Structure 1
Amino acid sequence: MRVCWNIFLQLQGWTIRDEFPYHLKKCVIAVGPHTSAWDFVVGLAVRSKLRLYHLKFLGKAELFKGRFGFFFRKLGGFPVDRFSNNNVVDQVVEKFNASESFVLALSPEGTRKKVDKLRTGFYHIAHKAGVPIVLAGLDFGKKQITFSEPFLPTGNMEADLQYIIHYFADKEGKIPEYGLQHLDQQAPN
């Protein structure tokens, strides 16, 4: 499949601009902006090209039901009931603590629609587990994947989230109007 994914990325014109931090055994990868189901397809291709087969992802529980549930599990996904009171953050932190190596990718928006703010679960997971966050930008305008330098959450969530929003603000999603530019413009100076 790796050859097929490489051909897909080439034909679509995608490039990977930055090095992935392979030295990290544990981290949260925040991928954005998340505006389309195509983000998942590009993500799978990048995962294969960079040989990140150990990468896991959270997905809405509905994806894991029915005949395609096995497919998403095989790809490294595990279901999350976004509307229950189960403490997903603590469950994922336990997975980090119990594993020697655990890399989790998820979208800070939590949806493909335009958002008024980021969801904070990814931040709380990284902070409680004591693992760095790596930002992965999907820029459909430039057909470019970028990676930030890893950073540990400081505990000043407002400042850290503003840094994250600013990183994603110049990345054009598949559906540009659903991107995060509007949140960066609202930032206090």
Structure 2
Amino acid sequence: MGYYFSKFLFWIFGWKVDGVIPKGIEKAVMIAAPHTSNWDFLWARCAFFIMRAPVRYTVKKELLKFPLNLILNPLGAIGIDRTKRTPGKSKLSMTEAMIRLFDEKDKLIVLVTPEGTRSYAPEWKTGFYRVAEGAKVPILCGYLDYKNKRAGVGPMFVVDGQFEKQLEEIKQFYRPIQGKYPENGVK
């Protein structure tokens, strides 16, 4: 159902799918950028249905209870459990909880918005990199280019510990890509 509905929407609105997830990649952190609109979710979800890519996104595990689970699960939601590690200890950080998810799953590609907001964010949050580093998985660059009506997957980065250098290379890929609201995109 999701595949055919997505193909129909892309056809009606003139969108195309460009890149795909490289063969053999079963675990990865996928960046979703530029993230400038609530519409990004619809177009990204449709693109992944068309690619037949099992991309997931995180929500609080409490949201995956009836009746919301009937909507969120088919759309790729995966619950994050940030409960306390042991009695008297603090909750897991989001990064630790996501690394735990990768440890528990044989296959997992998780979508992350490093901007952390739909507004312009001059500094990206580093969690996507820390999760990829901790889980020992690559980073994929997912994108939505509203100007050219293209959705897809760009380059893959293997985390090498040189965060600043790799972040600049990643941002370099995203700079020519235009979000729905270009003024909020990557600078």
TM-score category by the smaller chain? 0.7 to 0.9
Residue identity over aligned pairs, in percent, reads: 28
Q: Residues 73 and 172 (structure 1 numbering): CA distance in 2 closer, same or farther, change over 3 Å? A: same
Which has the larger share of helix? 1
* 2:138 match: 132
Q: Displacement of 1:109 after TM fit?
A: 0.9
SS of equivalent residue, structure 1 residue 28: strand
The one-letter amino acid of 2:95's match is V
Question: Are 2:13 and 1:12 equivalent residues in the alignment?
Answer: yes
Q: Is the 8 A contact 2:47 2:152 kept in 1?
A: no
Question: Are 2:98 and 1:92 equivalent residues in the alignment?
Answer: yes
The one-letter amino acid of 2:125's match is R
Q: Displacement of 1:63 after TM fit?
A: 6.9
Question: Are 2:72 and 1:72 equivalent residues in the alignment?
Answer: yes
Supply the distance in 1 between the matched residues of 2:95 and 2:154 (Cα, whole angstroms): 23
Matches within 5 A, 1:143-162: 143-162=149-168
Instruction: Name the TM-score, length of structure 1 as normaliser.
Output: 0.84
* 1:108 match: 114
Structure 1: gaps of 5 or more residues: 182-189
SS of equivalent residue, structure 1 residue 138: strand
Aligned length: 179
* 1:34 match: 35
What do residues 140-187 of structure 1 show as CA deviations (whole Å, max 9, x unaligned)? 001112322322111111111111111111111011111112xxxxxx
SS of equivalent residue, structure 2 residue 56: strand
The one-letter amino acid of 2:147's match is G
The one-letter amino acid of 1:43's match is A
Instruction: Name the TM-score, length of structure 2 as normaliser.
Output: 0.85
* 1:187 match: none
Structure 2: gaps of 5 or more residues: 83-89
* 1:44 match: 45
* 2:86 match: none
Q: CA RMSD in A?
A: 2.4
Q: Residues 152 and 172 (structure 1 numbering): CA distance in 2 closer, same or farther, change over 3 Å? A: same
* 1:186 match: none
SS of equivalent residue, structure 1 residue 128: helix
SS of equivalent residue, structure 2 residue 178: coil
Question: Are 2:175 and 1:176 equivalent residues in the alignment?
Answer: no
Supply the distance in 1 between the matched residues of 2:125 and 2:80 (Cα, whole angstroms): 14
